[in-house]
Chains A and B, each alone.
Chain A
Amino acid sequence: MDARTAEPLLEISGLKTYFKTDDGTVRAVDGVDLAIGRGEVLGVVGESGCGKSVTAHTVLKLIQMPPGKINDGRILWQGRDLVPLDLEEMRKIRSKEIAIIFQEPMTSLNPVYTVGEQIAEVVREHEHASRREALDRAVEMLRLVQIPTPERRVHDYPHQFSGGMRQRVMIAMALSCNPKLLIADEPTTALDVTIQAQILDLLGEMKERFGMAIMLITHDMGVVAETAQRVVVMYAGRVVEEASVEELFDRPLHPYTQGLIRSIPRVDRAADQRARLEAISGTVPSLLDPPPGCRFAARCKFATAACTQAAPDLREVEPGHKVACILY
């Protein structure tokens, strides 16, 4: 379906999340716009420290406030703004409508409760199910994420599972109340390569079955290429480019996107060549009181004096393809 014509499921506009620290204000998310349609898989890419996790946490208001604060913007969930909602109202949305899984499966589960209890807890919270019903649902969910002998494993503690298996448990937990959107914040980053592929496959299968939309956050362009329909590229707290996957890989416009694509390891090249990837030189700048202008300027080979004057807006240069760079 086309996310731009129908009303999107989630529409973030002008979102700013800042952290007050002793050294100054960290503008972790500084004017982010993005939208996700029903059942769509949106990839959100960018190097580490670009504000991807803060964006994801802000949607569910999981940011620690203070020091964090949503300074501006709207988060429209099916047309309703989440920013002004209080904790009680947010609780009804968490897991029930929007669920999230995290990067570190080893630490995302509470070590002192069985995985069954941790899944059942969500079901009891949102569906007022009895203990028995909730535990049955936990077994069923564990079966769906392909954990062998789920009726036995449901009574096991997290330390009895491997990293990949724990991420499956997290997915089971996240989907147990059939949410309309799953935010997956680097779900495979902490896992071995073979396990990564299995988890991505599982996410695909779960999407087939439950039909939820997925916001797949990653720093790995390869993961995006395999799973997403549309991609948002983030850099230093802002969206710098947005396009469909095909369009983005065929015609990357933003110099940062071009750099990211060039740095994808390619299996068809020899190992010694792969080691010499064309990585983008330099690092993500500090988001502590950043200077005006394009934040990529320090690393951009096309940068001109104009680039440091004012930040370029995200503009639609072709149908469905937006970019924030003065070159376009």
Chain B
Amino acid sequence: MSQYLLRRLLIAVPSLLGISIILFTILALAPGDPFGELATNPAVPPEVRAALREKFGLNDPVYVRYLRWLMAMSQGDWGFSFVSRVDVDVLILQRLPTTLIVIGASQVLALLIALPVGTYAATRPYSLFDQVANTLAFVGFSLPTFFTGIVFILIFSVTLDWLPFVYRSEIDATGFAFVWGHIKQAIMPVAVLGLFQGASWTRFVRSAVLDVVRLDYVTTARAKGLAERVVIMKHIVRNALIPVVTLVALQMPIVFGGAIVTEQIFRIPGIGSLLISSILANDTPVIMAVTFVFACLVILFNLIADILYGWLDPRISYR
């Protein structure tokens, strides 16, 4: 098991290297750099500009800059944000927890919807429940998060005035009010992301369960005299989870993409909005670091999926 893990981690290293090379090259070739603004600022003399470019090595060839970045990175130096004038790692560590909490909570919500609804619908195919669930899942899956986000804001913030629509990292309260304040502002983004993922996962779970219910070993389980609840939970859902885990892992990039959009709509100070603002400001070191963090997260979730997969299916051995 630990050997398997080690091997998977070792495979992750070249993937991350490849991703970072591609990212770095694209960013280097893209028009605009952190000193673009200085170029149009008449107060900065051209000699100063040139000296700055030289100092930060912006005139070196791409591969030299990449190697320099890689060396610094491997020593824990994530670079310096020219725009915010702080270290990139400080910036990311400030933003990451909020993103992880919102994404995590929304994925938990999505699973809490998808597992029971998908299973219940699949065990009663074409029943009224199944048809309603299918329709809702289809609608939820078709509506983009920026649309539902705005509808939610219009209803719950503007019209009803129940929930705040601007996310604040500092809340001027203590104790219960502090916790409630955080929960209240997280409700809408978590719901928007969670419902969207929940809708798409409900369809996965339903079809995975439908594939299992007709298998022979389910008939065997019933023939044993087990309660229907045990047949469903132990013999159907357990097996249906195997393909679901893979599908969920494959969806992680989409989840992060959805999170970036949602953070913009609700102005959540997470790394998604950090990415957008750094792109707008041409803050290359931050763009590079944030995209790299996303890549790491995707690879991490794939690793978790691999482990879960091996745990769920004894036919996969950790060799």
- A100 partner residues in chain B, CB cutoff 8 A: 223
Docked CA distance A57–B223 (Å): 9
Q: Which residue of chain B has the shortest Cβ distance to A176 in the bound complex?
A: B224
Docked CA distance A288–B316 (Å): 43
- CB–CB A122/B238 < 8 A: no
The interface on chain B, measured as residues whose beta carbon lies within 8 A of the other chain's beta carbons, has a size of 21
Docked CA distance A170–B223 (Å): 12
Docked CA distance A110–B242 (Å): 13
- CB–CB B223/A91 < 8 A: no
Q: Decide: A94 near B222, CB < 8 A? Known: A87-B228, A110-B235, A112-B239.
A: yes
- B239 partner residues in chain A, CB cutoff 8 A: 110-112
- CB–CB A157/B315 < 8 A: yes
Q: Decide: A110 near B220, CB < 8 A? Known: A157-B314, A159-B315.
A: yes
A108 in contact (CB, < 8 A): yes
A324 to chain B, nearest CB (A): 30
- CB–CB B223/A111 < 8 A: no
Query: Which of A99, A102, A159 contacts B219, CB < 8 Å?
Result: A102
A17 to chain B, nearest CB (A): 15
- CB–CB A107/B217 < 8 A: yes
Interface size class of A (residues with CB under 8 A): 20 to 34
- CB–CB B216/A102 < 8 A: yes
B215 in contact (CB, < 8 A): yes
A101 to chain B, nearest CB (A): 9
- CB–CB B216/A108 < 8 A: yes
Docked CA distance A112–B217 (Å): 11
- B222 partner residues in chain A, CB cutoff 8 A: 62, 94
- CB–CB A109/B217 < 8 A: yes
- CB–CB B225/A92 < 8 A: yes
- B227 partner residues in chain A, CB cutoff 8 A: 91
In this complex, which of A93, A95, A104 has the most chain B Cβ atoms within 10 angstroms of its Cβ?
A95
- A122 partner residues in chain B, CB cutoff 8 A: 224-225
- CB–CB A112/B312 < 8 A: yes
Q: Which residue of chain A has the shortest Cβ distance to B218 in the bound complex?
A: A110
> Could you pull out 5 A-B pairs where Cβ atoms are within 8 angstroms?
A95-B224, A99-B223, A108-B217, A111-B313, A157-B315
Measuring CB to CB, which residues of chain A are less than 8 angstroms from any residue of chain B?
57, 60, 62, 87, 90-96, 99-100, 102, 104, 107-112, 121-122, 125-126, 157, 159, 170, 173
Measuring CB to CB, which residues of chain B are less than 8 angstroms from any residue of chain A?
215-217, 219-228, 235, 238-239, 242, 312-315
